[in-house]
Amino acid sequence: MSTENLNNKEAVEKLKTLVNSIDIGMLSTFPANSDYPHSIPMSRQEVDEEGAIWFLFSSESDTHTHLTQNKKVSITFSDVKSYEFVSLNGIAEVSNDVDRIEKYWNKMMDAWFEKGKEDPNIRILKVTPKDAHYWDNKTNKLVTFFKVAATAIAGIKTDIGREGNLDI
């Protein structure tokens, strides 16, 4: 596996490409009285031009409670079918920005918010990455499988993908 660290605009573009193709990440918050993180699946709404990742969620959730105590979060996105992964740590901001709610609202949200987009519990979560790391393929899954098999059987070293830091 080769290393390809990316900075600034390249890092943001890589993050956008990976997160947009994976969509759902495991968002971890850190409860005040626990030694362990609390993780839930979250579907991203947008990765903006600065690399911030936006979500809709409820002020009645454990996640919201945790974020009132500690703004640090971790998110892991993984797509095992394509061998693409992103892990990031960041700082969360919570708001009830009506314009963002309108922008991100879709029919799927009705399942989470019974009162629709007028629900007073809807919150916007903005995660600003502070550090991020990715792993992905340079080729498709079948080619990667053969490269891994060649390495295992014949001891031939092949470059099966790349990984690196995303400095946003």
Q: At residue 148, does pLDDT exceed 50?
A: no
Q: Residue for token digits 């690196």?
A: 164
pLDDT at 56: 97
**HSE-up of residue 34 (Cα within 13 Å, Cβ side):** 12
pLDDT at 4: 82
Return the closest-CA partner of residue 84 out of 151, 15, 153.
Answer: 15
Structural domains in the chain?
A: 2-167 (2.30.110.10)
The string of pLDDT tens digits covering residues 47-58 is: 999 999 999 999
pTM (2 decimals)?
0.85
Q: Which residue has the higher pLDDT, 141 or 164?
A: 164
User: Buried b / exposed e across 140-163, counting CB within 10 Å, b at 16+?
Assistant: eeeebeebeeeeeeeeeeeebbbe
pLDDT band at 166 (very low <50, low <70, confident <90, very high): confident
- What percent of the chain lies above the pLDDT cut of 70? 85
- Tell me the average pLDDT across 79-90: 92
Residues 6+ positions from 87 with CB-CB distance below 8 Å? 74, 75, 76, 77, 132, 133, 134
- Tell me the average pLDDT across 142-161: 50
Residues 6+ positions from 9 with CB-CB distance below 8 Å? none
